[in-house]
Amino acid sequence: MANFEALVNRIASLDTNMYLNDFLLTWEKSDAEIAATFAVADALRNLRERNISTRIFDSGLGISLFRDNSTRTRFSFASACNLLGLTVQGKSQIAHGETVRETANMISFMADIIGIRDDMYIGKGNTYMREVSRAVLDGYKDGNLEQRPTLVNLQCDIDHPTQSMADMLHIIHTFGGVENLKGKKLAMTWAYSPSYGKPLSVPQGIIGLMTRFGMEVHLAHPEGYEVMPEVEEVAKQNAAKTGGKFVKSNSMADAFAGADIVYPKSWAPFAAMEKRTNLYGNGDFDGIKALEKDLLAQNANHKDWECTEDLMKKTNGGKALYMHCLPADISGVSCKEGEVEASVFDRYRVPLYKEAGFKPYIIAAMIFLSKMKDPAKALKDLETRDRQRIFQ
């Protein structure tokens, strides 16, 4: 791990505009801002490892608005808030429409940050986040809120920035620095799962971010499992700008061939998710049941999309870094047939847990950068303050 002073100097050298801004989509952030987020995450971890407290809030609330009650997201967000001194206050049901403005103001009186997870309905989650953002900005301007609460996207219908950023930081650490990634090949592939309707935000987040570092990003899935075309467009443009490549195919084997990193993971077809959103909107529950049945049947046609030892052998030196956002559907363990062979998963268990471990620091970095006017100075000052995290 790079030493603290180098990280601070790097942050100081980056031209960023994240103060009092939300973090909603990685492709809305400049390269400097993405780099600053990684560096702050590493710096916060470095301080914590030296038992130096990173509390920047003496009091303050982190509001969580989750449509689903996901244990992992809840603990990641709670860990990040705790690291910085915020207390989490949660609200599970989310009202869309007219009342968003009112609710957003009523829960934000002491809110420094709002983390939202709303990934279930295509066309809804990200839109909702922007509604909330506008509402609290108005509340701040009107003098109703003393502070401007900023938002962190904890997963929406389009992107999953805390996941993709944590994944990327894991890659950076594994390959010894972002400068070593040029020309590397990453395979983001669909994989079979017996469950239905997994969100698109993971593959979309991955192709939307990983194409920015000069890598070849290969998106592979069976026909009919297309992701949102807007995000593919983002990936294409990213690759064009950075000397990287964005390749699409319908072959898992092609994607794995010579890959340095593989990310095999199930998701639902974009078109089907759009259809589901409309069925919910119309309250057509019979239609939803029929759709679920169709999707499960469609999935079952592609049980050969499994990350096997044989496929892993086709990767660069047979040693590609296997990645997953967890939990994975492990064949013969968590389900009969799934995304990955048990022996592959087992071999990568420690790196997988490390991958997950970057997420709280990424979330904390996003919060930190939206609250500290001069983040490099703030980190330096925290080191100088030298307050113990655990009393010694």
Binding site for a second copy (CB under 8 A): 45, 48-49, 53-61, 71-72, 74-76, 78-79, 82-85, 87-89, 91, 98-99, 101-103, 105-107, 109-110, 112, 139, 142-146, 326-327, 333-334, 349-350, 353-354, 356-357, 359-360, 371-373, 378, 381-382, 387-392
Identify the bridge partners of residue 186 per DSSP, sorted by sequence position. 217, 261
- Taking the least distance from each CB to a second copy, the nearer of 9 and 388 is 388
Residue of 113, 267, 111, 286 lying closest to 196 (CA atoms): 267
Nearest approach, Cβ of 171 to a second copy (angstroms)? 16
Run of H or E including 78 = helix 71-84
Residue 59, both tokens: 């009091």
- Taking the least distance from each CB to a second copy, the nearer of 13 and 99 is 99
Nearest approach, Cβ of 248 to a second copy (angstroms)? 32
What's the CA gap between 129 and 199, in Å, rounded? 17
- Taking the least distance from each CB to a second copy, the nearer of 118 and 157 is 118
> In 10 A of CB 225, how many CB atoms?
22
Nearest approach, Cβ of 385 to a second copy (angstroms)? 8
- Taking the least distance from each CB to a second copy, the nearer of 294 and 381 is 381
What's the CA gap between 363 and 367, in Å, rounded? 6
- Taking the least distance from each CB to a second copy, the nearer of 96 and 387 is 387
* Residue 234 CB partners (closer than 8 Å, separation 6+): 27, 207, 208, 211
Nearest approach, Cβ of 380 to a second copy (angstroms)? 12
72-79's contacts with Cβ under 8 Å and 24+ in sequence apart are 72/326, 72/356, 73/117, 73/154, 73/155, 76/154, 76/162, 76/359, 76/360, 76/363, 77/115, 77/152, 77/154, 77/363, 79/360, 79/363, 79/364
Nearest approach, Cβ of 382 to a second copy (angstroms)? 7
- Taking the least distance from each CB to a second copy, the nearer of 70 and 242 is 70
Nearest approach, Cβ of 186 to a second copy (angstroms)? 22
